[in-house]
Amino acid sequence: MASAGRIVPGGLGYLRPPGTIELAAYGVDLRGKRVADIGAGEGRLALGAAAQAATVLAVDPDRSALARGRAEAKRLRLRNVTFREGAAQRLRIEDRSFEVVIFSWTL
């Protein structure tokens, strides 16, 4: 099993457009889909996807970033987003669990 390596906090989401705008630019239809955001950080894209997706799973090894994402989801009253601590190298997700997977700015 691969190591997660060193965790480097993100926090640079403010340099990018809002998640809904960036996702729309990709041209992917998220309506009613199960979405996973791997390396989600604070969940900028996960929260953006939640407006259209049926469910969104945001995974990141940074506990503090996930806490900020959870707080933002609560503030926005989003109930279809779940934040889970974990590394991309060690995901425990069943095959075909998601129809769309986001992997952005993740090393």
Q: What is the domain-level CATH number for residue 41?
A: 3.40.50.150
Question: In the chain, how many domains are there?
Answer: 1
Beta carbons within 10 angstroms of residue 34's beta carbon: 17
Is residue 58 in some structural domain?
A: yes
Sheet holding 34-38, edge to edge: 81-85, 55-60, 34-38, 100-102
Is residue 9 in some structural domain?
A: no
* CA atoms of 81 and 40, how far apart (whole Å): 12
Is residue 95 in some structural domain?
A: yes
Measured CA to CA in angstroms, residue 28 lies from 21, 33, 98 at distances of 12, 10, 14
pLDDT of residue 64 exceeding 90: yes
Mean pLDDT computed over every residue of the chain? 86
Is residue 88 in some structural domain?
A: yes
Is residue 3 in some structural domain?
A: no
Q: Which of 13, 15, 87 lies closest to 48, judged by CA?
A: 13
Domain that holds residue 70: 17-102
Is residue 32 in some structural domain?
A: yes
Q: Which of 32, 44, 64, 56 lies closest to 104, judged by CA?
A: 44
What pLDDT, in 10s, does the model give residues 2-49?
A: 455 555 555 555 566 677 888 888 888 999 999 999 999 999 999 999
Is residue 4 in some structural domain?
A: no
Beta carbons within 10 angstroms of residue 31's beta carbon: 8
Is residue 55 in some structural domain?
A: yes
Higher pLDDT pick, 23 / 70 = 70
For residue 37, the SS3 value is strand
- What is the pLDDT at residue 1? 43
